[in-house]
Each structure stands twice: as C-alpha cells, then as structure tokens.
Amino acid sequence: MTATPTPGGPVAQLTVEAVSEAKKAHEERRHLDCVNWTHAANWMLEGFWITDSSEASGQ
C-alpha cells in the first residue's frame, strides 16, 4: 500500500513555493537559482515519498 501525499500539507506547500521560485528565477534568467529551486522541490518530493512509503509499509 502506498500512502498518498496530503494536498495541503506542509511538504506540498513548500514544494509549490519552490516550483514558483524556480519559474520566477527562470523568467529572470537567474539560472543557478532556477537549478537550486528545482533541486529543492525535487528533494522535498523524493524525501516525502521515501519517508511516506516506508511508514506506510511498516518499515
């Protein structure tokens, strides 16, 4: 059984903020900031799924 993320949860909110900042940085041609924000969003999502999946499976 795989757990599903909480749509309005703190990880989701932070991820939305990171994606928004990445888009803004891209539009402003701040490429390093864009990469950093994209990496942050990806890291939060991966961390959530790893934690959430292991909790759901009882590990």
pLDDT bracket for residue 7 (50, 70, 90): low
**Tally of domains in the chain:** 1
pTM equals: 0.64
Question: What helix, strand, coil percent values describe the chain, rounded to 5?
Answer: 75, 0, 25
Q: What is the spatial distance between Cα 8 and Cα 28, in angstroms, rounded to a whole number?
A: 28
In a domain, 36, yes or no: yes
Amino acid at 58: G
In a domain, 47, yes or no: yes
Burial of 26-36, coded b for 16+ CB within 10 Å and e otherwise, reads eeeeeeeebee
In a domain, 18, yes or no: yes
Range of the domain at 39: 12-54
- As a whole number of Å, the end-to-end CA separation of the chain is 12
pLDDT bracket for residue 55 (50, 70, 90): very low
